A and B are shown apart, each in its own frame.
Chain A
Amino acid sequence: MAPAAPLPPALFLHDAVALSGRFPLLAGVDLEVANGETVLVEGPNGAGKTSLLRVCAGLVPLASGRVAVLGLDPVRQRNQVRRRVGMLSHASHLYDDLTVRENVRFAVRAAGAGTDRIDDACDRLGLTGRVLKTSAVKLSAGQRRRVALAVLAARWPELWLLDEPHAGLDASARDTLDELIGEAASGGATVVVASHEAHQVEALATRAVTVAGGRVVSQRAIVRSAGKPAKDVAHVA
């Protein structure tokens, strides 16, 4: 799964500090994710996992340090970066008054992606028939999440940033999610998953990164053939 040499890494952060007022969301993150990697980001609540993903999506600017996403500055070159990045965040970004189908269509078209994969994506996430014509306000939390995933699946971005993607999903949707992650990875996309449910993602990930206190505190490679997680390869304490 080694990336081609000339391509810039999908993600590159060096001593990245991001603030929310006086509070350091990130307190100096060093991280590099190669193209095509699937990385699991672990850490306790409030460790900075969400902030890390938001920085990568260009939603939060850095106070100091460097960040490059797909070789570009996610804040200055945001319009080039954002169309290639897909983010699944805690909120599902749905308009309550629009139907499921309208929501997916708008999100996909807004991101400048083709609409041809929408039906297929909705199908895969079990959004069919009556549900498609239901307005989003009537959906359950899990269904809203499925809609958000359907948008990602229809867009099929180069870099997937998934924040607690399993939260609120039932077993079948979790399986679909894992399938999607697997397909994205084998299709050459880079996937970064922040999750507490390590065992669910570890089967898919090539590397696990632990975040705590707004920094990357350790990394370990996941050797698939061994079946179980291997030893730490780096310790950045």
Chain B
Amino acid sequence: MWRDAALVAGKDLRIEARSRVGLSQVAPFGIVALVLFAFALGPDRSLMARGAPGLFWVAVLFCTVLAIQRSVSVESADGARDALRLSGMDPAGQFLGKAAAVAAQLVVLEVVLGMGVVLLYGAKIEVAWLIVVSSLLGTVGLAATGTLYGALSAGLRVRETLLPFLLLPIAAPILLAGTRIWQAAMVGGVPADGTQWLRLLVVFDAVYVAIGVVVYGPIQESA
């Protein structure tokens, strides 16, 4: 399982390194979103700083949809999905590999967007470790649910429109938890409920990674 995961993740990351779709299209899109949020909020920097955590996570969510679309479209060209099925690789490994590749791209993206909110909105990070831990946990959850729904919608002609509709409501808890923790981390000090939110993220991640490991194979064979 781990060998197959590494193989698939390596393949996807190599494709990203060659095509630079994530770096040259998804990340700039995230920045554009941040700028548009600023336009919508007006020039009041204190308002932007207060909204920074939520806007960051909304931007991440939108970028996740794009990253997943890309991850799926890589496999849908030239019958590559059939090839993965025919290879006899462990489906759990394929799931973990694809999710890991997405997660790696999202981490880079979050660094870019994080710098964006600090520079553009004047947000101040007081508790760095909280920012890092919550972002990593959120990333795992987004990558897992995204890969799962990506596989589910892979064969559909209406994939581009259906995927965000299915994925974004499911990811709502990540947005809530991430925003709340970031708010705390930017005000300073760990709030009483901080660990509660972190636990929520851990549960979310554990549930969807476990589901993915179990059902990715059947989904791949049927959908």
User: Which A positions have Cβ atoms within 8 angstroms of B?
Assistant: 57, 59, 75, 78-83, 85, 87, 89-98, 102, 106-107, 109-112, 135, 144
Contacts and interface: CB of A to CB of B under 8 A. Distances in A.
Contact of B78 (A75, A83, A85, A93): A93
B193 interface: no
Contacts of B199: none
Contacts of B74: 95, 97
Interface in B189-223: 221
Contacts of A57: 86
16 contacts: A59-B82, A59-B85, A75-B221, A78-B88, A78-B221, A83-B87, A90-B79, A91-B79, A91-B83, A92-B78, A95-B11, A95-B74, A97-B14, A107-B83, A111-B88, A112-B89
Given A95-B11, A106-B7, A135-B18, A79 B82 contact: no
B78 A110 contact: no
Contacts, number: 74
Which of B77, B78, B80 has most A Cβ within 10 Å?
Answer: B78
B84 A110 contact: yes
A206 B223 CA distance: 38
Contacts of A80: 88
B24 interface: no
A95 B80 CA distance: 7
Contacts of B11: 95, 98, 106
A107 B19 CA distance: 20
A110 B89 contact: yes
Contact of A93 (B8, B19, B82): B82
Nearest to B21: A97
A102 B14 contact: yes
B82 A91 contact: yes
Interface string B71-107: 0001001111011111111100000000000000000
Contact of B80 (A81, A87, A90, A93): A93
A59 B90 CA distance: 16
A230 to B, nearest CB: 35
Contacts of B7: 106, 109-110
